[in-house]
Amino acid sequence: MGRIRLASFRAQRTLPKEKPMMVNEKLDAGEVEQIECVEVKTEDSTNPFLPKRTKEKDLPFIPPTEVRKRDGKGDSRLWIVVDTVVLDVTEYQNQHPGGRSIIAGFRGQDCSWQWWSFHDRTIWQSIAGSLRVGRTVGVENPHRRPRTIVGLRKHGFDDWD
Ligand code: HEM
C-alpha cells in the first residue's frame, strides 16, 4: 500500500528531475523515498513562536546579546522585550493600532514601562501571548522611566470636611 508523502519547507528533495515530486503524492508499494533533509537555517529558526499555553517559566532562555541583534534590519527579525519576555513583532508591527514606528523605536530592546503605560493584561494575554519566543534578562530600555510621585494625595472625597 502506498503512503502519503508530506512535504515540509524544511525538507529538500533530491530525486531526479525527470520524476518531479508532488506534494502529497502517493508512492507505489515498495518504492523507496529518498529525501535528504536539509535544515533551512535562518538566524531565528531556533526561536519559533510559542503556544499561548506555554508558561512563562517554561519559555526558552535567549541571551541578551542575541536579543539585541534582532533589530528588524535586513533579514533580521524584530524583537522587543516586555519584563523578561521576548516578543517577535516582525509581522505584528504592521498591524499595531498605535502605529509601526512606535514599536520600531524599541528594536531589540526593552520597552516594559512604555508597554504597561499603554496596554493592560487583556492585551498581553490576547495578542502578546502569541508573539512570545523566549525570555531573557539584562536587555536595556532606551529611555529612563519618568519619576512618578504617588501617595501625596488623600484618597476619597472629603470636600464636606
Ligand atoms: C507586542 C507588542 C505590542 C502589542 C501586542 C500592542 C498592542 C496594542 C493594541 C491592541 C493597542 C490598541 C489598544 C486599544 O485600542 O485600547 C495598542 C495601542 C497602542 N500601543 Fe501598542 N502594542 C505593542 C507594542 C507597543 C509598544 C512597544 C509601544 C511603545 C510605547 C506601544 C504603544 C502603543 C500606543 C501609544 C497605543 C495607542 C494608545 C491609544 O491610542 O490610546 N505599543 N497597542
In a domain, 158, yes or no: no
| Summary mean pLDDT of the chain | 78
pLDDT over 60 (residue 152): yes
In a domain, 83, yes or no: yes
Whether the Cβ atoms of residue 118 and residue 106 lie closer than 8 Å to each other: no
In a domain, 68, yes or no: yes
* Domain range for 69: 56-135
DSSP 92: G
In a domain, 105, yes or no: yes
pLDDT, tens only, 75-126? 999 999 999 999 999 999 999 999 999 999 999 999 999 999 999 999 999 9
Q: How many CB atoms lie within 10 A of CB 103?
A: 20
ipTM entry: 0.88
**CATH code for the domain in which residue 108 is found:** 3.10.120.10
In a domain, 140, yes or no: no
Give me the residues paired with residue 132 across strands: 87
- Tell me the HSE value of 19 on the side-chain side, using a 13 A CA sphere: 9
More confident residue, 157 or 41: 157
Question: 159 pLDDT band (50/70/90 cuts)?
Answer: low
In a domain, 43, yes or no: no
In a domain, 95, yes or no: yes
Residue nearest to atom 12 of ligand 1 (CA): 97
**Which residues are near ligand 1 (CB < 6 Å)?**
80, 87, 89, 92, 96-98, 102-103, 106, 111, 114-115, 118-119, 123, 127-128, 131
Q: How many domains does the chain have?
A: 1
Helix%, strand%, coil% for the chain, nearest 5: 20, 15, 65
pLDDT over 70 (residue 17): no
CA distances to 4, 5, 29, 49, 126 from 1, rounded to whole Å, are: 10, 13, 5, 37, 45
In a domain, 76, yes or no: yes
Q: 2 CA distance to ligand 1 centroid (A)?
A: 51
pLDDT over 80 (residue 36): no
Alpha helix (H) residue ranges in the chain: 64-69, 100-104, 112-118, 121-126
